[in-house]
Structure 1
Amino acid sequence: MVTRQLPKPAELLELLQFKKPEFDGRKRRLAAALTIDDLRSIAKRRTPKAAFDYTDGGAEGELSLTRARQAFQDVEFHPGILKPAPDVDTRVDILGGPSALPFGIAPTGFTRLMQTEGEVAGAGAAAAAGIPFTLSTLGTTSIEGVRDVTRREPQGPVPGRNWFQLYVMRDREISYELTRRAAAAGFDTLHFTVDTPVAGARLRDKRNGFSIPPQLTLGTIINAIPRPWWWFDFLTTPKLEFASLSSTGGTVGELLDAAMDPTISYDDLAVIRDLWPGKIVIKGVQNVEDSLRLRDAGVDGIVLSNHGGRQLDRAPIPFHLLPDVRKAVGDDFTVMIDTGIMNGADIVASVALGADFTLIGRAYLYGLMAGGRAGVNRTIEILRGEIERTMRLLGVSTLAELEPKHVTQLARLAPIPR
C-alpha cells in the first residue's frame, strides 16, 4: 500500500517551474526548430509560394532530389563501443585553408528573393562560424559586397573564407571579368560549374509564373495576404537584381539565357585556370570517368553534384557515386559533395565514405527564409549539434577517424544486371 499525503507547498513549487516567456517572435520560432525540416516548415509558412517553390523544388518530376535525400536516409551506421569521445574536433583543412566544420554554404542564385538579407546573412553567418561561403554568379549581392560583409564580421574559430561559383557565359568576357573581380576581392577558390549547358525544366516555377522581379497576379496577391512581412521587406529594400551582372544590361531572361552555354569545354576550363590565381574545383561532376579526367587535368578538386536535382532529372545520386569516385581518384585528390543534405548525420556519412567536404544549399535557404541571419545561424547550429552527436555516438573524436567501416549504404535502388 502506498502511503498518501497532502503535497507540501515547497515541493509543488519545485515541480511547477514555469518557462520564461519569449516575446521575440523570431527567437521563439527559431528556438522551436530542432531540425532542418522544422526550419523548412517555418520557411514555407512565411514565404510566398513562388519564392518558396523556387528554393524547394527540383527539375521535372523531382526524382533526382527525392532520391538524393532518400540515399542519406538509407544509411546504417556502425558505432564502436567503449571508445569514449567526450570531446570531438570538427575542424578540417580544405583547399588550402581551415574550416571549423566539414561543410560550407553552397552557391545559390536569387538569394534575396527568399529573404531580403540574402547573401549578407549567409556570408556573415558563415564567417562567424568559421566556414566557407560560396557566392553564385547569379547572386543578389555583389562580389565586393560579400567581401565587405566577411571583413566586418567578428571572426569565428577560424577565419571566414569566400568562394566564387562561375558560370561560363555566352559572352566569355563577362565570365572573365567576374573571375578577375573575385580574385581581386580575395576569394580563394573558384567553383567552375559544368552541369548547366541548358536550364533544367523546373516545373514548379513554370506553374507559379516565377520571375525576377516577382510579377503580381491575382494568385500571388491572394498568396501574399497572410505574409505581409515578406512583401514589406521586398518593397522597402534595394531593388532585387543580379548584383554581379547589373552592369551587363539586358532583361533577366536574357541574362539567364546568357548564363547557360552548351558549348563550354575543356578549352574554357584552361582559359579560366590561367586567369584564376587560387584553387579551382569543378562543380557538377557525375561519373567516375570525368572525375579521373579532371584529376589528370590538374584541377584542385571536384564537387559531386547534380545541381540539387535542378538540372537533369534521374541524374546519378552523388552520395551513391562517392565511394567509387574516391576509390578511383585516390586519397590525395579533393572530393566534395552536395545535394540532399538535410542532417548533420548526412555530412558525417559523407566524410566516412571519402568526402573531404560537403556543401549545403537548401538547408541554408530554409534557415534564411525562417529568420534571416538568425535563421542561418540556427541552420549551422543544428547541423553542428547533429555532427558532434553522431560522432560521439560512433565513438570517434576527429573527422579523420571516420572510415567506410562506419557506414553501410542500403540498396533501395539497385541497377538491373545486364
Structure 2
Amino acid sequence: MVQRRIPKIKDLAPLMQFKSPELNARKRRLAAALTIQDLRTIAKKRTPKAAFDYTEGAAEAEISLARARQAFEDIEFHPSILRDVSTVSTGWNVLGAPVAQPFGIAPTGFTRMMQTEGEVAGSRAAGRAGIPFSLSTMGTSSIEEVKAANPHGRNWFQLYMWKDRDRSMALVDRAAKAGFDTLLVTVDVPVAGARLRDKRNGFSIPPALTLGTVVNALPRPEWWINFLTTEPLSFASLDRSSGTVAELIDSMFDPTVDFEDLAWIRAQWPGKIVVKGVQNLSDAKRLVDLGVDGITLSNHGGRQLDRAPIPFRLLPDVAREVGQHTEVHLDTGIMSGADIVASIALGARFTMIGRAYLYGLMAGGEAGVDRTIQILSEQVARTMRLLGVNSLEELTPGHVTQLTRLQPVASALVAAAETVRTPVTVK
C-alpha cells in the first residue's frame, strides 16, 4: 500500500513558481512562437487576407511550393555520437565576406503591404544578426532608406531587367553608390506567373478598398491603422505602380534578356554578382563560364512556373559539378534551421528565406523579424550539435539522405538529358 500524508506548505512552495506576466502583447505573442509555423499562424490572424495570400500564395495549383517544402521534410539525418559539441560555429565567408549564419533575407516585393515597417525592419534585423539583407527592385523602401537603416551591414540589391534598360541600370548604379556589395540578377521572370490567389482576391496596387477588403480588415485594427496613417503604399523604384502585380510585370519586365545581356550587366557592376532562378545543371555550368560569383537555385518560391524543378533536389548534382568554381546558394521552401543545415550539408554555401521572414514581419514587425532569425539560428545550432559537428565546414553529404517520393520515369530522364544538351543561341 502507498503511504499518504497531507502535504505541508514548505513542500509545496518549491513547486509553485510563477513567471512574471508579460504586459507587452507583441513580446508575449512572439515569445510564444517556437517555430516559423507558429509565426505563420500569428501572421495569418493579424494580416488581411489579400495581403497574407500575396505572401503565402504561389502559382496556379501551388504544386511547386508544396513539393519544395515536402522535399525538406523528406530527409533523414545521420548523426555522429560522442563528439564534443560544447561550442559550434554557425558562420563562415559568403561571397568574400563573413556571415554569422548560413542564411539571409531574400528579396521580397511590396513588403510594406504585409506590415508597415517593411524593408526597413528587415534590414535592421539582418544587420543586428550579421546576415545579408536583399532589397527587391519591387521593394517599397528605397535603396537609400535601406542603407540608412542598415549602414554597416551587408546589403544586396536584386535586379529585374526592365524594357527600359537605362532605368534598370540607373538603379544598379544607385545601389553601387550606396555601398551594396552584391547584385542578385533574377532570371526566372520573363513574364508573370499565374498567381491565382491574387486574382481571386482582386489584389491590386495600390490596394483597392472594396467592401470585402474593409470587412476583412476590421478585426485587424493595427494593420488597418498602419495602412491609413503611414506613407501610401507604392514601389519605391517605379513611377508607375497601379494595376495588378502581373500587369506590372508583363508591361515592364523585359522577356528578351539572355546570356549576352547578363555578361553586359556583369561588366557594369563593381561588386559580386549572383544569378538567381537557376533551375538546371546546364545553365549553372554556362553561368560559371560567364564568371559569376554565385548562382541561386530557386524556382521563385513556386510563384512562377508551377511544377518547376525542386531546388533542394537539384542541389547535390549542381554543387558537385560547379561548387568548386562558384558559390551555390538556395532558396524556396525553407521553414526551419534543419532545412538550412541539410542544404549546407548537400553543398549549398548559403540559403535565403522569403516567406519565413515575412511571417515574422507580419507577426510583429521588426521584433517579429528578430524572432524569425532567432528561431532559425537556434535550430541551426541545435541541429549541428545533434549531428555531432562543430562548424559548417564539417557538414557533408554523408549527414543527409534525401528520401524520394517522386521518381522520374525513364523516358522523362532521356527527354531531360536531350533538353540539357540542346545548345542555346546567343544574340
Does the C-alpha gap of structure 1 residues 64 and 236 become closer, same or farther in structure 2, counting only changes over 3 Å?
Answer: same
Correspondence for 1:46: 46
* Partner SS for 1:2: coil
Q: 2:66 corresponds to which letter in structure 1?
A: T
Measured in 2, the distance between the counterparts of 1:186 and 1:270 equals: 22
Q: 1:200 corresponds to which letter in structure 2?
A: G
Give matches, 1:196-215, under 5 Å: 196-215=189-208
Correspondence for 1:135: 135
- Is 1:285 matched with 2:278? yes
- What is the aligned counterpart of 2:313 among 300, 320, 324? 320
Q: CA deviation at 1:260?
A: 2.3
Measured in 2, the distance between the counterparts of 1:244 and 1:150 equals: 19
Q: Sequence identity of aligned pairs in percent?
A: 68
Q: CA deviation at 1:258?
A: 4.0
- What is the aligned counterpart of 2:266 among 263, 269, 273? 273
Contiguous gaps of at least 5 residues in structure 1 = 152-158
* Partner SS for 1:243: coil
Alignment check: 8 A CA contact 2:284 2:318 kept = yes
Give matches, 1:10-409, under 5 Å: 10-151=10-151, 160-245=153-238, 248-249=239-240, 251-252=242-243, 255-409=248-402
Measured in 2, the distance between the counterparts of 1:398 and 1:88 equals: 6
Q: Which moved more, 1:20-29 or 1:195-204?
A: 20-29
Measured in 1, the distance between the counterparts of 2:25 and 2:241 equals: 41
CA RMSD of aligned residues (A): 1.1
Alignment check: 8 A CA contact 1:167 1:259 kept = no
Measured in 2, the distance between the counterparts of 1:384 and 1:202 equals: 31
CA deviation string 1:121-175 (max 9, x = no partner): 0000000000000000000000000000012xxxxxxx52000000000111111
Measured in 2, the distance between the counterparts of 1:292 and 1:7 equals: 73
Measured in 1, the distance between the counterparts of 2:187 and 2:386 equals: 38
Measured in 1, the distance between the counterparts of 2:104 and 2:251 equals: 28
* Partner SS for 1:268: helix
Measured in 2, the distance between the counterparts of 1:64 and 1:256 equals: 20
Measured in 1, the distance between the counterparts of 2:77 and 2:241 equals: 51
Measured in 1, the distance between the counterparts of 2:248 and 2:177 equals: 24
Q: CA deviation at 1:274?
A: 1.7
Q: CA deviation at 1:222?
A: 1.5
Q: CA deviation at 1:267?
A: 2.2
Alignment check: 8 A CA contact 2:181 2:271 kept = yes
Correspondence for 2:414: none
Measured in 2, the distance between the counterparts of 1:330 and 1:220 equals: 47
Measured in 2, the distance between the counterparts of 1:208 and 1:251 equals: 16
Alignment check: 8 A CA contact 2:263 2:290 kept = no
Q: CA deviation at 1:249?
A: 4.2
Measured in 2, the distance between the counterparts of 1:250 and 1:377 equals: 30
Q: CA deviation at 1:3?
A: 2.4
Alignment check: 8 A CA contact 1:107 1:134 kept = yes
Alignment check: 8 A CA contact 2:117 2:366 kept = yes
* Partner SS for 1:164: strand
CA deviation string 1:219-257 (max 9, x = no partner): 112111211111100110111111122xx3464556433
CA deviation string 1:337-364 (max 9, x = no partner): 0000000000000000000000000000
* Partner SS for 1:313: coil
Measured in 1, the distance between the counterparts of 2:72 and 2:248 equals: 35
